[in-house]
Amino acid sequence: MLSMKIRNPRLIRMASWLGAQAVRAWMRTMHFEYRALGPNLDPRQAGMTSRYIYAFWHENMLVPLYQYAQPNIRVLISQHADGELIAELAHHLGFGLVRGSSTRGGIEAVRQMLRLAQDAHLAVTPDGPRGPRRQVQMGLLYLAARTGLPIVPFGIGHRKAWRMKSWDRFAIPRLFSSTTCVTPEPIHVPPDADKATLEHYRQRVEEVFAEVCGFAERWAETGRWPHSPQSRAA
């Protein structure tokens, strides 16, 4: 994320706790609005019984880490050393965790998420932990097919944000600015999908990501919305 090089476990715990307090204080200054192009899929709504795989680009993880931190959402975080700090930060903010990726701990991570999908939402960064930026990796489609949970791409746009010089151009929203999140119709992946079908859905998810990110970014930058989907400010 931010190319952190802290390796000492005690320092990681301390830095993550301080980071969680900083994220909360920073994000409380922001205006956040959720808009749905399809049904309301906000995981914070009361009485929600369906479960989903929420997907957001690695560069935009700060906003969902704050806005959607709750124990019934299990977030997949890499076992790379840099992921330790992110994992501890997410834990302090209130998420349940699953550790692993396509390169480390992948098989065990998938097994955990298959078990957890019976009772919880799942959250992933499908272009993480190393990129390429804004390219959906096949693991998301495999997970959706195996769990039966629909994919909900989160399009996130910032009115004003600093960008890190990292592979993902990590976004840090500026104080007192605004951010919007846009969701489409959920995407269902067939449980018996073969490799070619999974690739078809991978491309489809990327296309939908581009669409909802475009809506979110244009709305955040201009304040104008080309359609009239339902919305909820927070």
The whole-number mean pLDDT for each consecutive block of 10 residues of the chain, a chain of 234 residues, reads 56 82 91 92 90 95 88 76 70 74 56 79 88 93 93 96 93 93 96 96 97 92 66 52
CA 220 – CA 157 distance, rounded (Å): 6
Predicted confidence at residue 151, as pLDDT, reads: 98
pTM of the model: 0.85
Predicted confidence at residue 157, as pLDDT, reads: 95
Predicted confidence at residue 210, as pLDDT, reads: 97
Listed in sequence order, the DSSP H helices in the chain are 9-27, 62-67, 81-93, 106-116, 138-147, 195-222
Q: Within its chain, how far is the Cα of 196 from the centroid?
A: 26
Predicted confidence at residue 106, as pLDDT, reads: 54
Q: Quick one: which of 99, 149, 126, 143 has its CA closest to 205?
A: 126
Report which DSSP code applies to 186. -
Q: Quick one: which of 180, 144, 190 has its CA closest to 51?
A: 144
Predicted confidence at residue 47, as pLDDT, reads: 85
Is 207 buried (19+), middle (13-18) or exposed (0-12) by CB count in 10 A? Answer: exposed
Q: Where are the domains of the chain?
A: 9-233
Cβ(89)–Cβ(1) below 8 Å = no
Query: Which CATH superfamily, name and number, covers 9-233?
Result: Glycerol-3-phosphate (1)-acyltransferase (3.40.1130.10)
Q: Quick one: which of 168, 95, 91 has its CA closest to 129?
A: 168
Q: What are the Cα distances from residue 234, in Å, to 29, 38, 136, 153, 209?
A: 12, 19, 28, 19, 22
Predicted confidence at residue 230, as pLDDT, reads: 52
Predicted confidence at residue 102, as pLDDT, reads: 47
Predicted confidence at residue 71, as pLDDT, reads: 79
Is 136 buried (19+), middle (13-18) or exposed (0-12) by CB count in 10 A? Answer: buried
Q: What is the pLDDT of residues 188-198, one digit of tens each?
A: 999 999 999 99
CA 155 – CA 157 distance, rounded (Å): 7
Predicted confidence at residue 234, as pLDDT, reads: 52
Tokens of residue 107, six digits? 């098989």
